[in-house]
Structure 1
Amino acid sequence: MKHNALPSFRQRGLSLSSLNVPRRYHLPIILLRTLCLIPSVLGTLYNTQNTWGVPIRDSGGAITLKSTESDYWVANIWCALAGYWSWILTTSMMRRWLYHYEISNAIVRLITLTVVNWSVSAFICSKIESDRPITIWMLICLILLVSNVLKLCFGSSPKYHQKTEDVLQSPVRISLKSTAVRVLVFPLTVVTFLTMFVVLQQLDRLQYTTSQLMINQPFGLNYNDLATTFTTTTSSTVSVLILVVSSWSSEGFERRQMLRKTALKLVENDIHATYRFVIGQPPSARTQMLMGPRIENESQTYRDMLLVPASDLRGDKSRKLFEALRWSNEFKFDYMIKSDDDVFVRWDVVKSELRTLGRQSGYWKGLVYRNMVPDALGADKKMKTDYELPILPAFTSGTMYILSHDVINLIVDIDSPQQFVSAEERNLGIWLFGYDINPIHDFRVQDGNACESDQIAKRFKSRKLRDMQVMYDNVINGRTQCTSLDTTTCGLCYPCRGKKDDWRASSLACDQFKGVTDRHPTDYLKVSGSNVKDTLAPSVMGENDAWIIDGLLSQRTSKFSETDDWHLLYWVCWTSDASTFTDRHWRALELVWVHEPRAVIFMISNTLTTDFFQDYTHAGYEIHVVHFNKDNLLNWHWYFGPGTLDWLHDWDKWETGKFFYWHLTDYIRCLLLYNYGGTYMDMDALWIRVPPDNNLEFIGSDYSSLVSDREWTLDDEGLYLPQGLMRFKRGWALFREMCESAFTSYNYDPECFNCGGPKAITSYVREHLAALELGGFTILPREVLYPASYLEIHRFLLPNPLAEQELKTKIVVNSWNIHLFGKMTNHLPVEKGSLVDLVLKRFDLDVPHRDTAVSNNKKNANTIISSTGTWKVPMRLVGPRNYIYRYMSPFTHIPLDSLESRRRALQQPAAGRFQGLDRIYVRGGPSVVDKVQVSLDVAFGKLKIGVPPSPEFTKNTIELKDASQKDINVLLNSLIYSPSPLLAANGGRDRMSISIKYSNGEKDEVLVDVIVVESEDDGEMS
């Protein structure tokens, strides 16, 4: 019996079509086969839509080559060819599979082929720019052509094209050659010919238009009227060129007219400032026909139009700006200001500020954005480039920015082509990236709808364009510029108290110096900038900066802040009742003056009276009580930015919190160091030695024993930075940035005790440590300021028979200060024989003062604190019996490449200075003496006085008149000893005497044995 290889359903002859399938499968298979046309249909719809949109969005003109209407129509022809070849391929393969496989298996293969077809088409469309439609569909057709050729060569058989019974009888051979010509060659020839014809026609027109635009007339309209504008500018007058970017649209025409009637009137009649409206090439023949006569008439009327050889498309705004900059570079001016035609700019304010500033180089100013991802401000701002940019270079808002002439020259005067992206303000950041030009942030330039009283640039939407007239009328009539305008919206970087749309809700952060950043966590590592100090505004105390304390302290600076004596500023805070001011707090102040009698202490307090320290001021020491409250802080502008300003306004809201006054102290100490510089110290910090370098800027360190703190400490061992004692020059940005993060109404946490203290500053320093250290930020080893931790400090208050030995051999050698951690020790007495007791006895000015502490619920109003218990205390001269002078030759080198060597450098006393336990000073005696004789004598070496500077001497008697205790101690504190050359070379002993004689008969003398030794590090040559 003969075997029949056909499937059983074909043997029964049930099919009525050439598909050779049962009738119930006919319609599903036809539908599946039709799916192969989907990519071509979608491509045709997309191309047709773009074809009709070309007159609106422009073809790009001769400078920017973009697809024209004809390009999209030709692309549709290639779409049709791709659909035809896809249909042929799918039909052929379907017949083959239906012949060889069961229907279910054939359908699976058919679906797979369709998915592959879709995927290949989608992949090609995604990898080629959408503005190249012909290229996209030619490539798809090429793939389909190759697939059909392979199918014809290897997979074609007549049996797939006939009914079952015909195949069984006598198959008819199909000519592969005739099929290829009919299906492949002929359609390809027709489509290729049409494409070549259209392209040749476009090339003919392009050559003519290009030659007209790029050779004969590079710029149009009033491009050359600027040639004489700046020639009359004197060398002492700043000249300004304003470029206002506009468009060919009817809305652009209306906006230009409104600006001429309002903001630009503030530029009229100024021979040193002029403006131009910048437009590109007409988008299309239709636009040129409709708007051309109006623009030409506008140009002839106002003589303020500039036509540049670039597309006028919104997406080509960067190229239009670049061409305008290239044009402007031909003229001589000092500053170029770019704006848009829907922006009202206070040109009067801007011009005045620039003329006050004078000529600058490398100047770039505007609303600055930093560390922004490309699409951070919305999809309409998304930037597409030919390379990946995880983060954008710093850029300024396109609303308004200012460039000096040399910056424009850097942009346009280069040989290599520039990179162009759609958002022109971001393009500016890319152009200037690498030139080390840091944009200056000006938050008065606003992108949004807010209206602020000091705003200098505001954008108006088209439907609110008439509000420009309102603002202009306000300006010329002397009213606040936002009168009758909506002021309920919060401006970016402005305080938002009582306003809607707080910009922080958009996850933005604003730094008044650096600009706007994105607070969202990102997957890239932010690199901190090298500039860690702010350039604070200049102050003329008593003129543009009101006094807080006449002659000493103003709202923005102090008498010492900008001088070499900045280290003499000391800041302390007191927010408790005066009755809690105990003897240890008095002594903390005394220890400052013992070691630095010229120190000026400002007590920031809301409880102490201005004469609280009069007993010390009578002795000549300077301490001033500065009363603070909510109103004072606001009136003195004691805030860092919009966040802290809102926080201070909400004082009443926060005041009920249990940690508020701790937080307030954290805030004030940062503000004082930022505004004024100097030393901030807690009232439980006891100085035992001054730092050897007056210019050293430092903060102490300690270790936390809490494992949970490891999340924010500097290392895995719990190293953190307490704020109990800090010394810095003014302007460190870390204090401003830290407070603008912790103390804002938007994110202040009144229940978090440490969020504005050590945790805040340690977290900040950990993130910016390298840059801070390069700027001079010094983290001291723990023992320098905190020789005992808060868990161990209590033992310094307990009797210790070895306390004196520990003080001399360990504490004074390694430390400058002992911090008592008041929360841990305020309730503990200073017991006799303890280490702290020895320190307080060794360093004691013995200035009688009244006890204000509470005892048995009664004030000891009649108790006098002094060595005699009375107002009269005898004078005593205090000094060391032995003084070791450790000679260090000019070649001595202390390596700083390890923690141990760094510690040794910090612990070295200043050579020849009598510091620490060697301190020479007067205690007790009358507050002021009409005449004092200070006699100084040394056997072999030399002495000199540092304040005021004097020549060296071996014997000298100095007479002081009307001298206070401070005056005498200033002289003694400035004594400097230097050994004779013989002693310096060989070591040995010298003898020095100091005697004091008062006019009232009191006198005292100190004899000091000076031992000169070589430094143990001498011989380590640098």
Structure 2
Amino acid sequence: MSSLNVPRRYEIPVAILRALSCVPAILNIFYNLKASCQIPSRDAGGPLTIQTTQPEYYVAILWCVLAGYWSWILTTSMMKRWLYHYEIKHAIVRLLTLIVVTWCLSVIISSTLDPADPVRIQMTICFVLLLLNFIKLTFASSTKYSQKLEDVLPTTRFNLKSTAVKILLLPLLVVMSLSCFVLTGQINRFQYNSILLMDQPFELDQSVTAEASMSGLTILVLILSSWSSQGAEKRKILRESTLHWSGKEGETNIIYRFVVGQPPSPRIQSWMGPKLIVESENYHDLLVVPAPDLQLDKSKKLYEALKWASTVKHDYLVKTDDDVFVRFDLLRNQLNELGPKDNYWSGLVYRNMPVEYFNPSYNMVVDYEMPILPTFTSGTLYTLSSNLVDTIANIDYPQRFITKDDINLSMWLFGFDIQPVHDKRIQDIPEVCEESLIAKRFSYDTLEKGVKMMYNNILHHEPQCIGLNKKKKCSVCYPCHGKSNNWRSSNLECDPSRGVSLRTLPEFKKIPGPIVKDVMPSAVIGENDQWIIKDILSARTSIYTEDEANWHLLYWVCWTSGPKTFTDRHWRAIEMVWIHEPNAVIIMMSNSLPEKFFEEYTRRGYNIQVVNFTKDKLLRWNWYFGPGTQDWLQDWEKWEKGQFFNWHLTDYIRCLLLYNYGGTYMDMDALWIRIPPNQNQEFIGSDYSSVHADREWTLDDKGLYLPQGLMRFKRGWKLFREMAEGAFSAFNYDPECFNCGGPKAITSYVRERRAVLEAGGMTILPRKVLYPFSYLEISKLLEPNPLSEQEMKNQIEPFSWNIHLFGKMTNNRPVQPGSVIDFVFKKFDLDLPHRDTKTRHVISSTGSWDVPMKLIGPRDYIYKAVSERMLEDDKKKDNVLSLQPIPGKFQGLNVIYVRGGPDRVPKVTLVVETSIGRARVNNGTYAKQFNVELENVNMRQVNALLNTLEYTPTKLMVANGGRDRIKVDLTFDQGTI
């Protein structure tokens, strides 16, 4: 400042004016810096147009700094000259004019040039300032000016060359060097569509008109290859093996093309070009696309091939590589059975994979802000329906390209809500081989030998992997029993329907998806499925599973201890099911009870079946969820030594039955006192834990958890499959953890997904519905209580469907006379004679096999009308009315049934009379009096008829109340009861 010889009072204004000369540069720095920070958000996921990258903005900032420096130099040098020629005020005016001019030039240049090219804008501004500085230096070097300046500043020697080098050329050289260094590094990391610069037509064998015009299903196969000699060898190997399955067969036509790009260099083109042309003339299966033929540009080749494929008539497109053996015979059959379908995408699916999991050199992390990749399928082989090919090819803006074509495909489809179908039969690890594979990748050094060996094995109808898996490696998503490795040790997990993901992802929390049920495989019962119980249960489904109206009649129980442990209270638990639901089918899963253990009940028409299961049977029936549980069953002998194995086996069977078949699962210590009013409701009960440490996994801070003693669900709920795969996978099974497959497992699962599960149809019932007394309180129900009947009628039955005895707490405690449970047993008793499993004595009310038939029913019945408005109001409160008995149905303590009697009765007549209201059975017409005759019936059929009895009062009685009389007479060949 002192060199300008400015009076002290003008120092601050002049300093401010000089600083203003840098304002355009400073503003441009902030603009470019802000723009560079927005790049990751702008480009996070999905297809992108060509836009400015972060390094370009950083280079632009560098030029902004140079522009500010040169603007400062220009302003300072001009101010020196004006101070010499003019008064201080006139010099300041000229300085202000210069600043305004430089500002205007900056604005004009910025607005004229493309704002998407910030480097060009700043370079233009810099070169204008450079030109002005050179003009100024040239003018200042004149003899007249230099002489005058020397007179004023005799110690200063003006040297044009040294000044230009120091203040102009040297900074320019530094900035240009740094710019070249940064922008040159963009060449290898550039992630946008450079293919737009190429305008070459498709070459060689692009036409498939004759092949694609054939009738039937058309499958177009794209095999990515290369110009290299190794690529030619791979193509030769595939033509001599797996591609023999291409062509027309039946109604399905397979057309294939090897896809190569433009020659990577003139030398390779001159060397391999003639060979490629000869190869094309011989086989007519080469497609050259306008994309670089480099490994880094594999996605560009694929994209151009998809654009070509969109011009060819086909139903499905299959993409694979030239080092993959593909079972085109099996793939043909699979797609032919599927038929033409839109939005179909299948392959080996990867989900929730971190960006840097595969290889940081793919440079996803540069401008990809999401922590995980979109769901994608392995590039080994994937299948797309033709409409998805058209979707990708017809997007009218440039695409983004990264090295891995499989991830690139998922980005092209990102946002179209297309979910891929997982197919574990596609493996991208060369060292593994499974007999069911349809696509296997080989390393280059083993390709020829491996492909020929696999192809010859198939031709000779031998297992395809003979000689190909000498190290016994385990393929991802396959069982690892007896294998030398386990893919789970690589932090992988496999969902049989959703695909491969990481077991632990500490960086972020998984968000549960809205789909809570799996699409179950179709089965034609009795045809493509093996029977377990003739006409009832097969290995994959049951007649009740497929029946939307009667699915709730299927009951599952499990017994893994000896027959002598089956006590009278267990018999009664089964009887109480039939008292309230006579048509219920109970399937007893047991590895200890004989098949005719319940013969006394089946003679009277009740349907109870014992299914004996063993390790071999479970494996033969495919009763496992995936590779983890299959391995766990294979190691049965290893696990059964554990003290909790029988409990764990019950937990496992329970999950499998509800997942495969649906229905109601109940423990043998669950006593039904009333059936659910809504037969289509899917529910699980709840209870409270008094152990404070359990709060870590309970549903709330009060200790609410989900016992599994009684549940009802339709088939296919993912929670049972995922819970079982987590608890009973051979890799992470803990034989010493008692609760890992029980309430802790299901409660922990639901805790993370409760809202999604409840939205999908799950009902978590209040505690009092299924568990009115906790395991700490249940013992008092077995003790004498003079008010047991009143407690049952007033406190338990109005709100509860079931009483759970918590067998571990009560199995060794007797049911004492006068207790609540004693009242329940007396109230709900079919009185069917059966032998005590220990003493072999006959248990019945008479102590013999002859028990007279008796009609049981209430002397008084209170009809409680419920209106729609009451139900709506109750939903806003505790929603208990929906859990109450249906008005007019004789349920709970009001149930009407017969007990005792012979196995069959020749004739039964039911007569029902009412005084004021109306009644009906079997959903018939309401009437004041009617009678129904049944011939040659058993106890179940009689009780099934009584169970349908309904009463309805008149409208006047509903409005004002009143009394009515219902008379129920049941006459059979021995008299009236």
Please give the TM-score of this superposition, normalised by the length of structure 2.
Answer: 0.81
Other-structure match for 2:844:
866
CA contact (8 A) 2:727 2:733 kept: yes
2:210 to 205, 224, 228: 228
1:275 counterpart (248, 256, 269): 256
C-alpha separation in 2, matches of 1:912 and 1:239: 61
Alignment of 1:509 onto 2:493: yes
Partner residue of 2:882 out of 894, 905, 929: 905
> Structure 1 residue 412: deviation in Å?
2.2
- What is the distance in 2 between the residues matched to 1:180 and 1:317? 52
| 2:410 is the alignment partner of 1:429 | yes
Counterpart for residue 352 of structure 2: 371
For the residue of structure 2 that corresponds to 1:326, the secondary structure is helix
Kept after mapping to 2: 8 A contact 1:797/1:834: yes
* Structure 1 residue corresponding to 2:453, chosen from 455, 460, 470: 470
CA distance in 1, matches of 2:671, 2:657: 21
1:93-148 Cα offsets, whole Å, 9 max, x none, are xxxxxxxxxxxxxxxxxxxxxxxxxxxxxxxxxxxxxxxxx989x99xx99x99xx
Q: CA RMSD in A?
A: 3.3
Q: 1:739 to 1:413 in 2, by over 3 A?
A: same
CA contact (8 A) 1:384 1:421 kept: no
1:346 aligned onto 2:331 = no
Q: Indicate if the aligned counterparts of 2:871 and 2:882 stay in contact, CA closer than 8 A.
A: no
Deviation per CA, 1:271-324, whole angstroms, max 9, x where unpaired?
Answer: 722011111222122222222222222222211111122222222222221111
Is 1:620–2:599 an aligned residue pair? no
Residue equivalent to 2:312? 331
Cα distance in 1 for partners of 2:778, 2:175 equals: 92
| Residue of structure 2 in register with 1:160 after alignment | none
Given that residues 347 and 383 in structure 2 are in contact (C-alpha distance below 8 angstroms), is that contact kept between their aligned partners in structure 1? yes
Shift of 1:380: 5.2
Asked whether the equivalents of residues 579 and 828 of structure 2 are also in contact (C-alpha less than 8 Å), the reply is yes
Q: Deviations over 1:894-944 (max 9, x none)?
A: 24765x4323322x2122211101101001111211111111222333322
Q: Distance in 2 between matches of 1:970 and 1:713?
A: 40
Q: 1:366-402 CA distances to partner (integer Å, 9 max, x unpaired)? A: 1111111112234455524533121111111111111
Provide the C-alpha distance between the structure 2 equivalents of 1:192 and 1:705, rounded to a whole number of angstroms.
Answer: 72
Task: Work out whether residues 490 and 496 of structure 1, in 8 Å CA contact, stay in contact via their aligned partners in 2.
Answer: yes
Shift of 1:800: 1.1
Question: Paired residue for 2:732, among 747, 755, 769?
Answer: 747
Q: Distance in 2 between matches of 1:285 and 1:582?
A: 88
- In the alignment, which residue of structure 1 is the partner of 2:835? 850
Which position in structure 2 is the counterpart of 1:543? 527
Partner letter of residue 813 of structure 1?
Answer: P
* CA deviation after TM superposition for structure 1 residue 477, in Å: 1.8
Corresponding position of 1:788: 773
Deviation (angstroms), 1:191: 11
Aligned with 1:247 (options 226, 232, 236): 226
Alignment partner of 1:239: what SS?
A: strand
Q: Would you say the 8 A contact 1:877–1:923 is kept in 2?
A: yes
| Rounded Cα–Cα distance in structure 2 between residues aligned with 1:589 and 1:325 | 62
Q: Percent identity?
A: 52
| Counterpart mapping for 1:129-140 below 5 A | none
Cα separation, 2, equivalents of 1:64 and 1:916: 71
Output the amino acid matched with 1:403. L
After TM superposition, the structure 1 stretch with the greater mean CA deviation from structure 2, 250-259 or 870-879, is 250-259
**3-state SS of the aligned residue for 1:652?**
helix
Task: Specify whether residues 357 and 981 from structure 1 end up closer, same or farther in structure 2 by C-alpha distance, changes over 3 A only.
Answer: same
Contact 1:383–1:423 (Cα < 8 Å) also in 2: no
Aligned residues, how many?
A: 834
Q: Distance in 1 between matches of 2:160 and 2:874?
A: 87
Letter in 2 for 1:987: G
Aligned to 1:569: 554
Structure 2 residue 800 is the aligned partner of structure 1 residue 827: no
Check conservation: 2:625, 2:721, Cα contact below 8 A. yes
Q: 2:571 aligns with which of 565, 568, 586?
A: 586
Matched-pair contact (CA < 8 Å) for 1:411–1:431: yes
Contact 2:212 2:313 in 1 (8 A): yes
Aligned partner of residue 220 in structure 2, secondary structure: strand
Match 2:962 to one of 988, 991, 1006: 988
Give the distance between the partners of 1:888 and 1:792, measured in 2 at CA.
33
Give the 3 Å change call, closer, same or farther, for CA 758–186 of structure 1 in structure 2: closer
- The correspondence of residues 659-678 of structure 1 with structure 2, limited to 5 A, is 659-678=644-663
Q: Distance in 2 between matches of 1:397 and 1:821?
A: 49
1:712 aligns with 2:697: yes
**One-letter amino acid of the structure 2 residue matched with residue 971 of structure 1:** L
Label 1:592 to 1:520 Cα distance change in 2 as closer, same or farther (>3 A). Answer: same
Question: Are residues 1:881 and 2:865 paired?
Answer: no
In the alignment, is residue 798 of structure 1 matched against residue 774 of structure 2? no
8 Å Cα contact 2:195/2:291 also seen in 1: no
Query: In 2, distance between residues paired with 1:934 and 1:778?
Result: 38
1:247–1:279 CA contact under 8 A, matched in 2? yes
Q: 1:457 aligns with which of 424, 427, 439?
A: 439
Q: Indicate which of 442, 450, 463 corresponds to 1:480.
A: 463
The answer to whether the 8 Å contact 1:895/1:901 transfers is no
- Which residue pairs with 1:723 in the alignment? 708
- Give 5+ residue unaligned stretches, structure 2: 1-48, 54-58, 70-117, 138-153, 184-193
TM-score for both structures, normalised by structure 1 = 0.77
Change (3 A) 1:220 1:570: same
Q: Residue 595 of structure 2 contacts residue 610 of structure 2 at CA under 8 Å; is this kept in 1?
A: yes
Superposition deviation, residue 252 in structure 1: 1.5
Map 1:159-238 to 2 at 5 A: 175-182=158-165, 213-214=198-199, 217-223=200-206, 225-233=207-215, 237-238=216-217
CA distance in 1: counterparts of 2:800 and 2:843, whole angstroms = 28
Matched, 1:360 2:333: no
Distance 2:976 2:675 in 1: 28
Deviation at 1:649, TM superposition (A): 0.6
Partner residue of 2:148? none
Match of 1:658 in 2: 643
Q: Please give the alpha-carbon distance, in whole angstroms, between the structure 1 residues aligned to 2:195 and 2:321.
A: 28
Aligned partner of residue 500 in structure 1, secondary structure: coil
* Structure 2 counterpart SS, 1:989: coil
Partner of 1:310: 291
Q: Displacement, 1:707? A: 1.3
Q: Given residue 923 of structure 1, which amino acid in structure 2 is its aligned partner?
A: R
Kindly indicate whether residue 902 of structure 2 is the aligned counterpart of residue 926 of structure 1: yes
Match of 2:909, SS state, is: strand
Q: Is the 8 A contact 2:898 2:943 kept in 1?
A: yes
2:679 corresponding residue in structure 1: 694
Whole-angstrom CA distance in 2 between matches of 1:320 and 1:211? 13
Q: Show CA shifts across 1:496-531 (max 9, x none).
A: 111123110110000001111111232222111111
Letter aligned with residue 717 of structure 1: K
**Aligned AA for 1:803?**
S
What is aligned with 1:937? Answer: 913
Relative to structure 1, the CA distance from residue 283 to residue 65 in structure 2 (aligned partners, 3 Å threshold; closer, same or farther) is farther
Mark the CA change 1:189 to 1:551 in structure 2 (over 3 Å): closer, same or farther.
closer
Query: Following TM superposition, by how much is the alpha carbon of 1:891 offset from its aligned partner in structure 2, in angstroms?
Result: 5.0
- Is the contact made by 1:670 and 1:735 (CA closer than 8 Å) also made in structure 2? yes
Partner of 2:952: 978
Name the CA shift for 1:430/1:623 in 2 (closer, same or farther; >3 Å): same
Provide closer, same or farther for how the CA distance between residues 630 and 336 of structure 1 changes in structure 2, counting only shifts above 3 A.
same
In the TM superposition, residue 424 of structure 1 has moved relative to its aligned partner by 1.4
- 1:258 corresponding residue in structure 2: 237
Structure 1, unaligned runs of 5 or more: 1-62, 68-74, 86-133, 154-170, 200-208, 853-858, 1005-1022
Name the stretch that deviates more: 953-962 or 171-180.
171-180
